[in-house]
A and B are shown apart, each in its own frame.
Chain A
Amino acid sequence: DAGVIQSPRHEVTEMGQEVTLRCKPISGHDYLFWYRQTMMRGLELLIYFNNNVPIDDSGMPEDRFSAKMPNASFSTLKIQPSEPRDSAVYFCASSQGALNTEAFFGQGTRLTVV
């Protein structure tokens, strides 16, 4: 398997624009997580899904953030409208929760909002 695949790897956008980050989890994994990494707050969980259903979105910072998982092989994290303080590295991770395996992370998307 190719691992967790995220796109794009880098995104530069202007404040106020909509940004969509994409993630393809490892095939067969039933949990998908979105994390954000910043210098100020470190790595923090934004939201996670189980079998495509959002389970806990308490980490989503504002209504400007939304995440979807329309099927087992694809998830998106959307920011609309984006702000400079959203600049961060966004990681997607997946795991086989029922088998108690570790989460595998994608390479991340570095988002810069100018």
Chain B
Amino acid sequence: AQKVTQAQTEISVVEKEDVTLDCVYETRDTTYYLFWYKQPPSGELVFLIRRNSFDEQNEISGRYSWNFQKSTSSFNFTITASQVVDSAVYFCALSGDLYGNKLVFGAGTILRVKS
């Protein structure tokens, strides 16, 4: 069975602080995909990143960076110099199907960035 654990229920930071959201996954598939989605207060789900299991390179996109470590089954997400607009619920998700889209979501981490 597949499982995604986001142990941090809620994190509060002050603007400009760096923050890391943890994600640990379980799967028996050798090929799988990992995702992060953002859910702002307006409610929609916004795609942030997708990683396949063969690509362990870390990725940086502006203030966002992701650290994928197969050895620890983790796919952590760091926001550098956080901003109030980063306040949202962040979901980590896993997919093991052929086309990587049947998603199993973690419970989500609520991030509150205070000014």
Residues in chain A within 8 A of chain B (CB atoms): 31, 33, 35, 42-45, 48, 56, 89, 91, 93, 95, 97-98, 100, 102-108, 110
Query: Knowing A91-B45, A102-B50 touch, does A42 contact B101 (C-beta < 8 A)?
Result: no
- The listed residue (B103, B107, B108) touching A103 by CB distance below 8 A is B103
Query: Knowing A42-B108, A43-B91, A102-B35 touch, does A107 contact B43 (C-beta < 8 A)?
Result: yes
B37 proximity list for chain A (CB < 8 A): 105
Query: Knowing A45-B102, A45-B103 touch, does A105 contact B108 (C-beta < 8 A)?
Result: no
CB of B68 to closest CB in A, whole Å = 16
Query: Knowing A42-B107, A43-B91, A107-B43 touch, does A100 contact B102 (C-beta < 8 A)?
Result: no
Interface size on B, as a range, is 20 to 34
Residues in chain B within 8 A of chain A (CB atoms): 35, 37, 42-47, 50, 91, 93, 98-108
Query: Interface on chain B toward A: helix, strand, loop, or mixed SS?
Result: loop
Is B45 a contact partner of A105 (Cβ separation < 8 A)? yes
Q: Which of B45, B98, B103 has the most CB of A within 10 A?
A: B45
- The listed residue (A43, A56, A100, A106) touching B105 by CB distance below 8 A is A43
B44 proximity list for chain A (CB < 8 A): 105-108
- The listed residue (B91, B100, B107) touching A100 by CB distance below 8 A is B100
A11 to B102, CA, bound (A): 26
